[in-house]
């Protein structure tokens, strides 16, 4: 990987990675981000407190762009029927709650910044739909969105999570804009939407099989 020192270097490395690996741009961004974080950790000597089994940051509202959710959807659809059903069943409760909440507050997430903050407050301390109740692992870990990938901390997080606990290396600060920019370019829409909402759109209640795409 070329030396990455600026946001533009990062974007270029992601574009090259997408071509080299023949993968969607979002997956290439995830790959380059992982490589950069390994590099940042080894050269800075900084130790993150994040450990396998800690799911403190999974108890808050996670949002993502259509491009990120498309990758999640493809991943879920590529799993065995058994794993896919486990994911779908695991999301039922929280997504049902979201449907009722959203029916009462349909415009919160497309309205004001205050509305968005309220949604985050109302859903703080609620588990992410993809969090496994059995072992606290992420059921979509290889394709988890940028929101999750960049929630790193120097101290072991206690719930409720405070956003101030978040520590980010520079590449972690760059990726949001990069993916959002690509998403707006590809879809023409500025959309950063709760995971709950994406799920409620692609696997409507009672449906056993997710849609193949967020555009269906």
Q: Which residues bind ligand SF4 (CB under 6 A)?
A: 58, 62, 128, 130-131, 138, 140, 144, 148
Beta carbon of residue 77, minimum distance to ligand SF4 (angstroms, whole number)? 16
Beta carbon of residue 167, minimum distance to ligand SF4 (angstroms, whole number)? 17
Beta carbon of residue 29, minimum distance to ligand SF4 (angstroms, whole number)? 16
Of 13 and 130, which has the nearer Cβ to ligand SF4? Answer: 130
Contact 196, 62 (CB under 8 A): no
Q: Which of 20, 25, 118, 13 is nearest to 71 (CA)?
A: 25
Of 144 and 197, which has the nearer Cβ to ligand SF4? Answer: 144
Of 60 and 183, which has the nearer Cβ to ligand SF4? Answer: 60
Of 67 and 140, which has the nearer Cβ to ligand SF4? Answer: 140
* CB neighbour list of residue 55: distance below 8 Å, 6 or more residues apart: 131, 136, 137, 138
Of 119 and 131, which has the nearer Cβ to ligand SF4? Answer: 131
Say which residue the tokens 């590099």 belong to. 39
Contact 140, 130 (CB under 8 A): yes
Through-space distance between the first and last CA atoms of the chain, rounded to whole angstroms: 37
Provide the token pair at 206.
């009672």
* Residue 153 β-bridge partners: 166
Beta carbon of residue 199, minimum distance to ligand SF4 (angstroms, whole number)? 11
Provide the token pair at 48.
């993150």
Beta carbon of residue 183, minimum distance to ligand SF4 (angstroms, whole number)? 17
Q: How buried is 120 (Cβ within 10 angstroms: 0-12 exposed, 13-18 middle, 19+ buried)?
A: middle
């Amino acid at each position: 990987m070329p030396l990455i020192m600026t946001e533009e270097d990062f974007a270029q490395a992601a574009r090259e990675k997408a071509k080299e690996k023949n993968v969607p741009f979002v997956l290439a961004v995830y790959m380059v981000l992982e490589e950069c974080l390994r590099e940042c950790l080894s050269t800075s000597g900084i130790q993150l407190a994040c450990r396998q089994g800690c799911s403190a940051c999974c108890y808050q509202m996670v949002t993502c762009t259509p491009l990120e959710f498309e990758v999640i959807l493809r991943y879920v659809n590529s799993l065995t029927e058994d794993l896919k059903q486990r994911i779908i069943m695991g999301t039922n409760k929280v997504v049902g709650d979201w449907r009722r909440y959203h029916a009462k507050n349909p415009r919160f997430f497309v309205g004001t910044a205050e509305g968005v903050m309220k949604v985050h407050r109302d859903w703080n301390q609620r588990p992410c739909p993809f969090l496994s109740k059995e072992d606290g692992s992420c059921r979509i870990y290889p394709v988890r969105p940028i929101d999750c990938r960049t929630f790193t901390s120097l101290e072991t997080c206690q719930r409720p999570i405070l956003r101030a606990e978040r520590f980010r290396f520079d590449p972690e600060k760059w990726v949001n804009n990069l993916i959002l920019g690509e998403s707006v370019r590809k879809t023409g829409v500025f959309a950063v939407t709760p995971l709950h909402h994406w799920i409620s759109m692609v696997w409507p209640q009672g449906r056993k099989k997710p849609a193949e795409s967020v555009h269906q």
